[in-house]
Amino acid sequence: MRARGVPDRTESVRGFACILLVLYHVVGSSSDAGMHLPQDHVLRSLMDCLAFVRMPIFTALSGYLFAANPPRPESLRIFTLKKFRRLGVPLLVATAVFGLSRYEIYGEPFALRSFFTSYLHLWFLQALLLLFVVFGIWHALATPSRVQLMLAMLFASLAMWSLPWFDGFSLGGALYLTPYFVFGILMRHHPALIEAAEWRILALGVLLLVMSTKALGTFGYVLDIPTSSLFAVICGCAAVLILMQRMPHVPILAAVGSFSYTIYLWHPIFGSAARQLLERLNAWPIGVFLASMGAALLMPILVHVAAMRLPYLSVALTGLRQPRPRAA
């Protein structure tokens, strides 16, 4: 249920984040990936700056929606099973599909450990599943107070900055995402965060300052800001707050947002296929870019629609059950 007075623009915000994510993988995380742009290319620098907002938005929205209906002690088991079906089953299927396809195409080694460690973009799903389980148990045992949640944000931020990355089942990723997940919970529990104009002004100032510093850092003018720093956490939360306050309802973004999970799972396959095909045809870079973006966004939606018509396949590819026919 939506908090009173808080505009429900979450699907538009999610769609915006989804497009940023697809853009990142199309451009490439480095000069060896995606469109193979040089490291000092303006788009590469833009992708580095947007690292402060891409996954924070997804994660904060997950926390925001989680807090709308957290599990109680009697519903914790059902909650956990539903999250495993929604996140865990497609995660296992996608890991196998990506691992085997990359082995056949590129000769990359693929082993059983890929199911239990950070693997490609699927690390996010492992980390998110951990967050749902941990915070589900916490809420089922005793609803955390605002002070406890803020301390959890601070502890996770400091731990991520000071401790080495834990790769097992993306535990390091879960630690990195924790502040944003908690911030989403705080926004749901305290809608004044979204409603108050003074928070918007402060958040905008923080976002502009940190993003400008990050942009200068990518060109070597100042010290770079790592995504694991406390400054990055503050910037990510500020970006989420601004979007939740000011993002209008955009139908096309909301439509993309409603398929965001399936797009997240499967967009690299279709984006990469379109890029390689257009590059072999010696297409202009702008054509390669647009075709890759279109394929990465549209093809997973078609996969989702088709899978929802078939039992079992819907759970395997989307995490959703085939809808039951309505009684006449």
DSSP string across 192-220 = HHHH-HHHHHHHHHHHHHHHHHHHHHHTT
pLDDT of residue 98: 95
pLDDT of residue 223: 64
Mean pLDDT by 10 residues, the chain (328 residues): 51 93 88 79 80 91 94 94 95 95 88 90 95 95 91 89 80 94 93 77 82 72 73 88 89 93 96 92 90 96 94 91 61
The amino acid at residue 138 is W
Q: Which two tokens stand for residue 98?
A: 């990506």
> Do 274 and 292 meet the contact criterion of CB atoms below 8 Å apart?
yes
pLDDT of residue 1: 36
Q: Is the CA virtual torsion 262, 252, 308, 303 positive or negative?
A: negative
Task: Indicate the domain borders of the chain.
Answer: 10-318
Rounded CA-CA distance 217/226 in Å is: 10
Q: How many residues does the chain have?
A: 328
pTM for this model (two decimals): 0.90
Rounded CA-CA distance 62/133 in Å is: 13
Rounded CA-CA distance 136/157 in Å is: 20
Residue 168 per-residue DSSP state: B
pLDDT of residue 3: 40
pLDDT of residue 326: 54
pLDDT of residue 325: 55
Rounded CA-CA distance 194/245 in Å is: 6
Give the Å distances, CA to CA, from 125 to 122, 142, 261. Answer: 5, 25, 10
